[in-house]
């Protein structure tokens, strides 16, 4: 699929109910929406320089962090129309949403704070100073915690959303310069990708490093398939590392060649298809990677015949 406007992408997110891939198309300053049932582009909604995306299932909203202008943008989930834009004082990268307290957690990267926005009222609620370079943030319903990668220190900061305070700081060595972050909410394991080609697997309740797996260097976003218990790690160098979660930790099972500048990835939890995005100064593309028929925990996806 070719979303037309040249430039580049940032995060990908999946909306399972509506069978949509949500694409932060930073180069075109839009949120792009792809119908994964027929591989068509449903909508491109102007939001600004888009980065992180979060879905509020209960109230039917999409939250998009933008850097220019600096907002958390609110869109109606059903029709993907911009309803509001919340001033947050500085540029936003990754975002996460906690459905229990209806709060949006947004990484403000000019002063390294987590900005907390009330998703009900669309108002700024508070901020949490972190320090260091904020890179990726997720909410885990299994532990009811917010996890924040800090690139410069190689740490994962843990936030209790009940009080909006940092309660722990876990080191992910030997993974350094942390980027992508994902969680298995059933087994309570965190996966964090270091720029140095290491994927650290941590216990999401204690912070203990369970194991480390070699992956491609320069990985940005990673995505977890809960059905296959598999982690996909997108490297801008042109590799998609595939890691299988196991009973004792995790193991590397494949490196798939993909176009260079592929640093965004998402997984369809129903079909197990893997979506990646890549671009250049000339054009941008979103590509679907299909798993083999009867995919199991040991199989790997292959590019679709019709990207």
- Shortest CA distance to 180 belongs to which of 65, 172, 249, 300? 172
Low-confidence ranges of the chain (pLDDT < 70): 1-7, 294-307
H/E segment holding residue 40? strand 40-46
Domains defined along the chain, listed by start = 12-222 (2.130.10.10)
Torsional class of 89: left (φ above 0), alpha (ψ -120 to 50), beta (otherwise): left
Is the N-terminal amide bond of 174 cis, ω within 30° of 0?
yes
The Cα–Cα gap between 18 and 37 comes to 10
Cβ distance 252 to 243 under 8 Å?
yes
pLDDT recorded at residue 280? 72
Strands ordered across the beta sheet of 155-160: 134-140, 145-150, 155-160, 165-171
Tell me: the pLDDT tens digits for 238-283? 999 999 999 999 999 999 999 999 999 999 999 999 999 998 777 8
- Shortest CA distance to 180 belongs to which of 157, 199, 163, 196? 199
pTM comes to 0.94
pLDDT recorded at residue 231? 99
* Longest distance between any two alpha carbons in the chain, whole Å: 49
- For the record, the structure tokens of 154 come out as 């190689």
- For the record, the structure tokens of 119 come out as 């998703």
Residue bearing tokens 């491609």: 216
């Amino acid at each position: 699929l070719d979303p037309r406007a040249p430039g580049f992408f940032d995060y990908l997110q999946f909306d399972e109910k509506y069978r949509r891939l949500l694409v932060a198309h930073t180069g075109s300053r839009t949120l792009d929406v792809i119908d994964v049932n027929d591989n068509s582009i449903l909508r491109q909604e102007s939001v600004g320089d888009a980065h992180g995306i979060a879905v509020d299932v209960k109230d039917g909203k999409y939250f998009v962090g933008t850097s220019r202008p600096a907002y958390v943008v609110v869109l109606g989930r059903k029709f993907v129309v911009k309803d509001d834009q919340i001033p947050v004082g500085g540029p936003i990268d990754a975002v996460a949403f906690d459905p229990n307290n209806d709060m949006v957690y947004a990484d403000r990267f000019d002063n390294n704070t987590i900005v907390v926005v009330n998703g009900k009222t669309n108002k700024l609620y508070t901020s949490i100073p972190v320090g260091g370079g904020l890179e990726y943030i997720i909410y885990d319903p299994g532990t009811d915690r917010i996890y924040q990668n800090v690139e410069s220190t190689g740490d994962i900061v843990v936030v209790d959303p009940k009080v909006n305070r940092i309660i722990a700081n876990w080191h992910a060595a030997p993974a350094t310069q942390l980027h992508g972050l994902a969680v298995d909410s059933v087994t309570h394991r965190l996966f964090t990708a270091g720029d140095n080609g290491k994927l650290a697997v941590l216990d999401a309740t204690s912070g203990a490093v369970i194991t480390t797996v070699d992956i491609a260097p320069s990985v940005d976003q990673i995505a977890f398939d809960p059905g296959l218990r598999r982690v996909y790690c997108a490297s801008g160098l042109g590799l998609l590392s595939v890691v299988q979660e196991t009973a004792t930790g995790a193991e590397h099972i494949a490196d798939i060649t993909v176009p260079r500048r592929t640093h965004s990835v998402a997984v369809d939890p129903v079909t197990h298809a893997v979506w990646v995005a890549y671009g250049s100064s000339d054009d941008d593309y979103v590509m679907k990677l299909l798993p083999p028929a009867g995919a199991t925990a040991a199989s790997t996806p292959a590019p679709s015949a019709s990207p």
